[in-house]
Amino acid sequence: MKTSLKIAMITSECVPYAKTGGLADVVGSLPQALQALGHEVIVVMPKYSSIDAEKFDLQRRFDSMGVWMGNFLEWCAVDEANNEGVATYFIEADKYFRRDGLYHDANYNDFGDNPARFGFLTRAGLQLMRDLDFAPDIVHVHDWQTALAPAYLKTWHWDDPVLGGAASVLTIHNIAYQGKYDAGVYPYLGLGWQNFHADTFEDFGAINFLKGGIAYADALNTVSPTYADETRTPALGYGLAPYLNDRGRDYSGIVNGVDYSEWNPATDSLIPANYDAFYLSGKTKCKRALQERFGLDISREIPIVGVVSRMVDQKGLDVLAAAIEGIVRDMAVQFVVLGSGDKGLEAFYGRLPLAYPGRIGSYIGYSNELAHWIEAGSDFFIMPSRYEPCGLNQIYSLKYGTLPIVRATGGLEDTVEQYDEATGDGTGFKFYDLNPGSIYSTVGWAVSTFYDRPAHMKRMIQHAMAQDYSWEKSARQYLQLYEQAMDNKPG
C-alpha cells in the first residue's frame, strides 16, 4: 500500500460545524486520526445556515463553481476552514442549504427536496476535487445522503484525470435511513436510466440511494461487527440484506472510535469537576451538581441513571417509558433524561419531573453541555435500543465511569462487557429481549449491585474507565478497508 493516501470524505454533517447524531462525531474525528497516521484528508459538507462562519473562520475558496446535474448546470460557492488540521470545504447553495434544519423542519417533516439537496452535495463534492486538483486515492462517503458518489465515480469519472484513480468506500451508519424517493428526481441526479435497475438504484419503482451505494462502492462497512451481521438478516436489513450478502466480504464492521480530547473526565472543560480512575472524588461533585441542576434530591447514596438520546423509534425510549414509573416506585433510584424528537415521547419525559419530583429530572432539547454533565454525574447510563449500529454514548459512559445498561444489539453488544456477579468482572449490564420487564429487572440488577456489592461497582468502574476506544485502532482498520477498496476497483 502507498505510504500516504489522499482521502476525500463527503458528508452531510461534521463536528464542530453541524450535528444531529453520531455521524457528525465520526466524521469530525476519523480524518484527524488518519492524518496522524500520515495520510491527507479533506472533508466536504454543506454550508447550512446554522453554521457560524465567523466563529469557525470560514474563508471563501471559490466564488462560483459550476456543477452538472442531469442536463442542468447549477452554481454554488465554496468556503474553506481548518478543522484541527483537516481542510474542510463548505458547499454554499442557498436554495438547498439556507434554511433551518439539516434534514427536516421544526416539526420533523423531511424536506421534500432532500434527494436533490444531497444528490447535489455529492456531485458538488466531486466537482470540487477536480477544481482543487485534489486527486484522491479514496472517496469515502457516509450514509444515504452521499451514497451516490460511488456511482458518479464509476459512470461519469472513470477516465477523469483527477477522479479516475479514486476507489470508493461507503460507510453505513444506520441502514434504516435509505433515501428512498419517487423516481421523478432521477433525471436531475443525472445517473442515466441505463443504470436504474433492480440490482442498483431501483426499489419497487422508487430510487433508493443507499441501495445504489451498496451496489457501486468498491468496499463498504458499517460501524460494528455485530451490526454488520444483523444487517445481513431480514430482521435488521430493512430490505437490503440480500444486497449486502451479495457483497460478501466486501462488507464488514468497524467499531467507531471516540474523540477523547472532547470526552474525557480528566480534561473535560464542560463538567463541574474533573476526575480520573484514581481520583474519583470529582465524580461525586459532578453527581451533586447534576442533582442540583435537575432539582433531584441531593444524596450520593442514591444511584442516578442517565439518558442522552434522540427520541426516535430506534432508541427504545417508548419501552423505557413503559417501565420507568414502576422502577421509580419500587427502587431507590433517580433518572435524568436529555433528548428530543418524537413529540409524544417529548411530552411524556417532559412531564415526568412533575409527577416524580426529586426523583426524575428531564430536559427536552439539545444541549452538548448537559450531555457531558449527565455522562459525568450519573452512576449508570441506559440505552434500550431496538437496534444500534454502534452507539457512542455508551463508549463515552465507559470513560466517565458511568456503567452502561444496554440492550445487547449492534455496537452495544460489541462494546459493553456483561457483569459477572460471581467475580465482579465486566463493564455494564446487558439485556437481550426488549420489553418493559427486562428493562425493569436489568435496572434492578444494576441498582442492587450499587447497594449490595460496592466492591464490584468499584471494580467495574475501574475496568470501564480503562477501556480504550481512541481512534487509532479503528483508523487502522479503515486503512485496511481502503486497501481492499483499491484492490476491488476495476482497472
- Report the chain's terminal Cα–Cα distance, integer Å: 16
16 or 21: CB nearest ligand GLC:
21
Contact partner at residue 467 from ligand ADP, ligand GLC, none, CB < 5 to 8 Å by partner kind: none
CA dist 407 → 237, 380, 415, 435 (Å) = 18, 14, 12, 10
State in angstroms the smallest separation of the CB of 127 from ligand GLC: 27
State in angstroms the smallest separation of the CB of 393 from ligand ADP: 4
> Within 13 Å of residue 299, how many CA atoms lie on the same side as its CB?
9
18 or 128: CB nearest ligand ADP:
18
Q: Compute how many other C-beta atoms are within 10 angstroms of the C-beta atom of residue 281.
A: 9
Q: How far is it, in rounded angstroms, from Cα 224 to Cα 220? A: 12
Q: Does 377 bind ligand GLC (CB under 6 A)?
A: no
- Match 444496554 to its residue by C-alpha cell: 406
Contact partner at residue 223 from ligand GLC, ligand ADP, none, CB < 5 to 8 Å by partner kind: ligand GLC
State in angstroms the smallest separation of the CB of 360 from ligand ADP: 16
Contact partner at residue 88 from ligand GLC, ligand ADP, none, CB < 5 to 8 Å by partner kind: none
CA of residue 208 relative to chain centroid, distance: 21
Residue choice 14, 215, 319, 390 for contact with ligand GLC (CB under 6 A): 390
Q: Compute how many other C-beta atoms are within 10 angstroms of the C-beta atom of residue 69.
A: 16
What is the phi-psi region of residue 221: left when phi exceeds 0, alpha when psi lies from -120 to 50, beta otherwise?
beta
Q: Does 23 bind ligand GLC (CB under 6 A)?
A: yes
State in angstroms the smallest separation of the CB of 229 from ligand GLC: 15
- The residue with its CB nearest to ligand ADP is 22
Q: Does 21 bind ligand GLC (CB under 6 A)?
A: yes
Residues of the chain by 3-state class (helix, strand, coil), percent to 5: 40, 25, 35
224 burial class (0-12, 13-18, 19+ CB within 10 angstroms)? Answer: buried
For ligand GLC, the binding residues in 294-353 under the rule CB under 6 A are: none
For ligand GLC, the binding residues in 251-270 under the rule CB under 6 A are: 256
310 or 386: CB nearest ligand ADP:
310
State in angstroms the smallest separation of the CB of 374 from ligand ADP: 9
Q: Is 39:25 a contact under the CB 8 Å cutoff? A: no
4 or 467: CB nearest ligand ADP:
467
Q: Which residues bind ligand GLC (CB under 6 A)?
A: 21-23, 26, 173-174, 223, 256, 388-392, 411
